[in-house]
């Protein structure tokens, strides 16, 4: 005997193997709860991230940041751990590329995130500026001239504190044209010379990491090559 969904008893809890009725395109179907919970986000959007290790980037050989000690053990006797350090007066840079992941919600913006730390405390109101130069194209597209973006704000806000973990977010302008598999070819640098902003922090900054933050509308793509 057929039964309307509106007449069914509401479940107080479900597990992945439970079969649930759903309505799609005016027809009623059944589907396991795990398929909804794990693979079908429907209209829900989530944010995801991808980390790019600074040690996996490429040095250009002319404007290289120093690779030097960040921290040692309590007795100051260990080899220590190292970071790339960007100079306060000269523009220094790293090169890398990245691909828009298969979970990426096509047509939405991708943010490039820079994680960093100051070497010493900053003065009142001092700022530190990062720059991102990049060009991008979808598969089959043509790479255009580069865009250069400068950002002189950081999270958390406030005067800079030595060894504190900060993040700077830069919009990559992938925008409405963005597709999975889109490739970005990039250069990251400190705007120490003040070309695009006001960098008046008076010492080096250490690069902790770089990465992407993007909207995701599924666990992956429907096929190997398309959403």
- Residue pLDDT, tens place only, 197-216: 999 999 999 999 999 999 98
pLDDT 10s digits, 118-127? 999 999 999 9
Range 46-216 classified under CATH 3.40.50.2000: no
Beta-sheet pairing, 147-151 with 205-216: unpaired
Q: What is the largest CA-CA distance in the chain?
A: 79
Secondary structure class of 36 (helix, strand, coil): helix
The domain ranges of the chain are: 5-38, 46-216
- What's the chain's average pLDDT? 87
Query: 């096509």: which residue's tokens?
Result: 106
pLDDT at 39 over 80: no
CA distance 194 to 206: 18
For the cut 60, the answer to whether the pLDDT of residue 32 exceeds it is: no
| Per-residue pLDDT tens over the stretch 138-163 | 999 999 999 999 999 999 999 999 99
pTM across the whole model = 0.81
pLDDT band at 44 (very low <50, low <70, confident <90, very high): low
Tell me if residue 171 falls in helix, strand or coil. strand
Mean pLDDT confidence for 103-117 = 94
Read off the pLDDT of residues 5-15 as tens digits, 9 standing for 90 and up: 666 676 666 66
Supply the pLDDT for residue 38: 47
| Pair of tokens at residue 99 | 């691909």
Query: At 26, is the pLDDT very low, low, confident or very high (cuts 50, 70, 90)?
Result: low
- Cβ atoms within 10 Å, residue 207: 23
How many helices (H) and strands (E) the chain has is answered by: 1, 12
pLDDT in tens, 45-61: 788 999 999 999 999 99
């Amino acid at each position: 005997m057929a039964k309307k969904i509106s007449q069914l008893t509401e479940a107080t809890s479900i597990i992945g193997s439970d079969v649930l009725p759903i309505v799609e395109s005016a027809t009623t179907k059944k589907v396991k709860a795990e398929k909804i919970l794990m693979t079908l986000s429907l209209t829900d959007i989530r944010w995801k991230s991808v980390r790019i290790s600074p040690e996996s980037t490429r040095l250009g050989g002319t404007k290289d940041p120093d690779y030097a000690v960040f921290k040692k053990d309590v007795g100051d006797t260990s080899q220590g751990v190292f970071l790339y350090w960007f100079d306060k007066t000269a523009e220094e840079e790293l090169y890398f590329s990245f691909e828009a992941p298969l979970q990426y919600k096509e047509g939405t913006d991708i943010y490039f995130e820079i994680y960093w730390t100051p070497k010493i405390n900053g003065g009142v109101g001092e700022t530190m500026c990062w720059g991102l130069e990049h060009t991008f194209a979808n598969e089959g597209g043509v790479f255009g001239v580069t865009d250069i973006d400068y950002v002189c704000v950081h999270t958390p806000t406030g005067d800079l504190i030595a060894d504190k973990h900060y993040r700077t977010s830069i919009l990559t302008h992938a925008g409405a044209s963005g597709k999975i598999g889109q490739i970005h070819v990039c250069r990251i640098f400190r705007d120490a010379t003040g070309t695009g902003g006001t960098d008046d922090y008076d010492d080096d900054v250490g690069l902790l990491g770089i990465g992407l933050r993007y909207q995701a509308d599924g666990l992956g793509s429907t096929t190997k090559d398309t959403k």
